[in-house]
Amino acid sequence: MHHTDICIAGAGIIGLSLALELHRRGLSVTVLDQGTPLAEASTAAAGMLAASDPDNPASLRPLADLSLSLYPAFLDRLHALSGTQVPFHTRATLQSHADASGETFSPEALSKILPQLKPRNHHFTLIDEHSLEPRNLAAALLAAVKSTSIDLHTSTQVLAAQSIGDSVELHTTRGTFHAAKFINCTGAWATHSSLAPGLAVAPKKGQMLAVAIPSTLSLPLVVRTHGMYIVPRTTGPNAGRAIIGATIEDVGFDKIVHLADIAHLRALAADLIPALADAPQLEVWAGLRPSTPDELPFLGPAPDARNQFIAAGHYRNGILLAPATAHVIAQILTGEPSAIDLSAYSPMRPLPATAIAH
Ligand SMILES: Cc1cc2nc3c(=O)[nH]c(=O)nc-3n(C[C@H](O)[C@H](O)[C@H](O)COP(=O)(O)OP(=O)(O)OC[C@H]3O[C@@H](n4cnc5c(N)ncnc54)[C@H](O)[C@@H]3O)c2cc1C
């Protein structure tokens, strides 16, 4: 029998960032993962901190901006605990827009920023945005967690959570745990089990590839269109590779990579930057984004379940949103006023009727 202040299901970036924040505030924290920490979406990601992506829903902005403001302190804390500095790889993004309204670059101006870009029918603007390598982040985050008294259990699947009196009883594949409060951070799996009945989180598969950037190409920034992005790694062991992503597919929990989809992504990238057409392929993979019907995360008390909370459904932006998620959920759990209005992220918010059936 295990007793703890807080029990978190899911050791992805959301669960572990939250565990660190709650531990910092003096609470005892246990984290349970059905597999290996940080082996799912959180290390499949491209690593863009894309608060200004025009494909984000407008209501994501306050949470995204809060997260950007917390990112430097988050990385400093990981550095202090783990000894590992997580560097930014890019500090700007060329973002394409569907039309030429607003401030877009002329082909001449674009050719100064990225001479080998063929804009075709895209209209680009330059966005002040950073990216990092999620695998660096994952290594530092895990080392940081392990440097604390946070109790991390791998290969421990939470099967059910039951509110009893002032605590929550968690039934797992490795026995029963008791906690004063339980938080479901199981990403794409958040409503797959009986942990959050009635909520709609569903996996959206993303396939990606990594290529070696040809020596003839200088690629210091991210290039992003509506259907594709190219994210260079500029420092560390992966420097010199570019990530090309990503499909968005509704195919359940399937993570199989299809070479035809990879070839299509490569063709989209090569259309914009022809030098990428023959760049040696280094790796392919797929991950499962935790999506919600309105593409906003669920953050707050779980419906009809005392002392149970949910922090899941970060869809395409979980790397960006981790520091703010940890911050606002910790504020809720410790009774502090929230830094931002959380009503748009309430697990009880009304959702598009067609999507709740999941
Ligand atoms: C291809 C792709 C590209 C992306 N690019 C970006 C990007 O550029 N920028 C960005 O910000 N975001 C990006 N994302 C999104 C981001 O990766 C996710 O939003 C984020 O990783 C979600 O984190 P998480 O901790 O909720 O989920 P996960 O990392 O999936 O972790 C969930 C954990 O819960 C565990 N679990 C599940 N069920 C149970 C259970 N019953 N009991 C115990 N443990 C359980 C799993 O084993 C897993 O470890 C991308 C995602 C993909 C797939």
Q: Tens digit of pLDDT for each residue in 77-130?
A: 999 999 999 999 999 999 998 776 667 788 888 889 999 999 888 999 999 999
Task: State percent of the chain over pLDDT 90.
Answer: 88
CA distance 232 to 91: 11
Quote the pLDDT of residue 92: 96
Average pLDDT, the chain: 94
Quote the pLDDT of residue 100: 65
Average pLDDT over residues 142-167: 97
Q: How far is the CA of 194 from the centre of ligand 1 (A)?
A: 19
Are residues 50 and 28 in contact, defined by beta-carbon separation less than 8 angstroms?
no
CA distance 70 to 281: 35
Confidence of residue 3 (pLDDT cuts 50, 70, 90): confident
Q: How far is the CA of 52 from the centre of ligand 1 (A)?
A: 21
Helix (H, G, I), strand (E, B) or coil at 302: coil
Quote the pLDDT of residue 102: 63
Short-list 160, 155, 186, CA closest to 8 = 186
CA distance 322 to 12: 10
Q: How far is the CA of 314 from the centre of ligand 1 (A)?
A: 8
Quote the pLDDT of residue 115: 93
Closest approach atom of ligand 1 to CA 156: 43
Are residues 30 and 179 in contact, defined by beta-carbon separation less than 8 angstroms?
yes
Quote the pLDDT of residue 352: 78
Which CATH superfamily groups domain 1-88+131-199+293-358?
Answer: FAD/NAD(P)-binding domain (3.50.50.60)
Closest approach atom of ligand 1 to CA 131: 8
Quote the pLDDT of residue 97: 86
Tell me: the pLDDT tens digits for 291-337?
A: 999 999 999 999 889 999 999 999 999 999 999 999 999 999 999 99
Q: How far is the CA of 318 from the centre of ligand 1 (A)?
A: 7
Q: Which two tokens stand for residue 86?
A: 């997580």
Domain(s) labelled CATH 3.50.50.60 in the chain stretch across: 1-88+131-199+293-358
Quote the pLDDT of residue 140: 98
Domain(s) labelled CATH 3.30.9.10 in the chain stretch across: 93-127+202-291
Quote the pLDDT of residue 358: 36
Q: Which two tokens stand for residue 252?
A: 């359940």
Are residues 325 and 311 in contact, defined by beta-carbon separation less than 8 angstroms?
yes
Residues with CB under 6 A from ligand 1: 9-15, 32-35, 39-42, 44-48, 50, 157-158, 185-189, 193, 206, 208, 245-246, 287, 289-290, 312, 314-320
| Residue 356 reports pLDDT greater than 80 | no
Tell me: the pLDDT tens digits for 250-266?
A: 999 999 999 999 999 99
Which CATH superfamily groups domain 93-127+202-291?
Answer: D-Amino Acid Oxidase, subunit A, domain 2 (3.30.9.10)
| Residue 274 reports pLDDT greater than 50 | yes
Mutate which of 8, 13, 207 to test ligand 1's pocket (most atoms within 8 Å of Cβ)?
13
Q: Which two tokens stand for residue 192?
A: 């797959």
Looking up tokens 């959206």, which residue turns up? 204
Average pLDDT over residues 154-161: 97
Which phi and psi (to 5°) does residue 98 adopt? -65, -35
Are residues 122 and 225 in contact, defined by beta-carbon separation less than 8 angstroms?
yes
Quote the pLDDT of residue 196: 75
Amino acid symbol at 263:
A
Amino acid symbol at 196:
A
CA distance 228 to 330: 35
CA distance 55 to 57: 7
Quote the pLDDT of residue 357: 38
Closest approach atom of ligand 1 to CA 315: 19
Helices (H), 115-185: 134-146
Confidence of residue 229 (pLDDT cuts 50, 70, 90): very high
Tell me: the pLDDT tens digits for 32-75?
A: 999 999 999 999 999 999 999 999 999 999 999 999 999 999 99
